[in-house]
Chain A
Amino acid sequence: MTDNKTLNVGDAAPDFTMKTIGLKDISLRDYRGKNVVLLFYPLDWTPG
């Protein structure tokens, strides 16, 4: 298990590929040319 890395403003955003509903893959690089807002939330069924 790796430790948390620390990211700061100005760093390159680490790319990722994850599955979404319907098991489709989505990668951060798919959106190059657009801004992206990443909303990390703890678990489904938590507030928000």
Chain B
Amino acid sequence: MPAFDKRVSDFDKANTQVLGISTDSPFSHENWAKAVGIQNYPLLSDVHRTVAKDYGVYWPDWNANSRATFIVDAAGKIRFIERYGKGELPDPDKILTEVAKLR
């Protein structure tokens, strides 16, 4: 998500790592990242759909994952979950605000 890529330095300042996850291969990720300008955070490949199922975001219609954001704190605990419907996207400002609450 280019909107988050532009804000990675703000997340860094909040001691926060951003990770993108979909069921695409690393080769697809590489092409997409180059095309849309994602270069500041890693895109991970959930090719076996196990992570999508562990996090409850598996989407059987597309054999993919739905759109959702999880914030995990420094101790490995989930502190925020947001799920998105059609046409909805995560807002970097809102997520930064949520991260700031963790201190």
Contacts and interface: CB of A to CB of B under 8 A. Distances in A.
Interface of A: 2-16, 18-23, 26, 28-29, 31-45, 47-48
A36 B72 contact: yes
B55 A18 contact: no
B77 A43 contact: no
Contacts of B56: 4-7
10 contacts: A2-B53, A13-B76, A18-B45, A19-B26, A19-B44, A37-B11, A37-B72, A38-B69, A44-B32, A48-B1
Contacts of B66: 40, 42
A14 B53 CA distance: 10
B68 A36 contact: no
Given A12-B76, A36-B72, A42-B66, 11 more contacts: A4-B52, A5-B55, A6-B56, A7-B78, A13-B78, A18-B51, A29-B76, A37-B19, A40-B68, A42-B62, A42-B67
Interface residues of B, number: 63
Contacts, number: 171
Contacts of B97: none
Contact of B53 (A5, A34, A37): A5
B62 A10 contact: no
Given A35-B102, A36-B17, A48-B67, A20 B29 contact: yes
